Structure 1
Amino acid sequence: MVRIKTAPVNSITIQVYFPTSNSDEEEIEQIYNILEELIECIHHKNNLIIMGNFNAVVGNVADSDAVGKYGLETRNERGSRLVNFCKQNSFVITNTFFEVPLRRSYTWTAQ
């Protein structure tokens, strides 16, 4: 977590990396619980950015304020969990709101 003093409010950035699909759901849930605890500790008058690799596919259906229409493929189970987390905390998945070339939309795919 990085806290930067900015005006009129401070900015806080949290970097996360979720394990790949080979990990069990308990590990994923534990990371979400840690994130929730951090969010509760951060004063609501701060700008909060959570960035990283969630190893989730949120899809390209803009079915809420959290997801734009430029996501990839069809939402998977982890993508649903991420979207619900964002809805509960009034977050947005910003990279789904901007169209970019397909080759820049992902870093790696499993075979």
Structure 2
Amino acid sequence: MNIRGYRLTIIGVYAVNDDSPTASKDTFFQQLNDEIIKTGKTREIFLLGDLNSRTGKSDNDVTIGKYGEDTLINNGERLIDMCKQNNLRILNGFYQHRNIHKYTWIQGTKKLRSIIDYVITKQKTKLQIQDVRVYRGAICGSDHHLLKAKIFLPYKREK
């Protein structure tokens, strides 16, 4: 996709669960990594979707940011490793919000909540990512909340 001089690749993802067999997870993350490599180094990339990963948080990490959740699971480790290999950034953890605007999935009766849906881009992107946050109340036939990214595409007007 080309938008005003930007060559973009958008990859929508629904990942295997963390409870899935190791072989299934290996296959999924290898296929996802292959798709990312196919995009090349000159294209901008947006990786969006339900990655069934909990990536935790870190104060001094260029991949995950310091505003994520406390929990890190196996799929999260795999996602972080893949992002580090490809110089990608998991944007959810870089913007400070109240918890209701941070958690993408909530199971009310058991009081469970997690961040498992993500927006991921290159670490060195020409795009200006202004915010990533959850919007509650959107009815979309899912138990996940709407995740929205505000992205500015700088461009020069042609005369």
Q: Hey, what does 1:70 align to over in structure 2?
A: 67
Q: Supply the distance in 1 between the matched residues of 2:80 and 2:59 (Cα, whole angstroms).
A: 11
Aligned partner of 1:108 in structure 2 is 106
CA contact (8 A) 2:18 2:74 kept: no
Distance change >3 Å, CA 63–CA 82, structure 1 → 2: farther
Q: What is aligned with 2:128?
A: none
1:92 alignment partner, SS class: strand
Identity of aligned residues (%): 23
Which blocks of at least 5 consecutive residues in structure 2 are unaligned?
A: 113-159
Q: Return the structure number with greater strand share.
A: 2
**Cα separation, 2, equivalents of 1:93 and 1:75:** 14
Change (3 A) 1:62 1:54: farther
Query: Displacement, 1:84?
Result: 0.8
Counterpart mapping for 1:1-111 below 5 A: 4-106=1-103, 107-109=105-107
Q: Structure 1 residue 64: deviation in Å?
A: 2.2
TM-score by length of 2: 0.61
Q: SS at 2:34's partner residue?
A: helix
1:36-58 CA distance string (max 9 Å, x none): 22122223211011111111111
Q: Please list every run of 5 or more consecutive structure 1 residues that lacks an aligned counterpart in the other structure.
A: none
Question: How much has 1:63 moved relative to structure 2?
Answer: 4.3
Aligned residues: 108
Whose radius of gyration is greater, 1 or 2?
A: 2
The answer as to whether partners of 2:29 and 2:78 remain within 8 angstroms in 1 is no
Q: Check the 8 A contact 1:9/1:45 in 2, yes or no.
A: no
1:28 CA displacement: 1.4
Runs of 4+ in structure 1 over 3 Å off: none
- Post-superposition shift, 1:104? 2.6
Higher helix residue share: 1
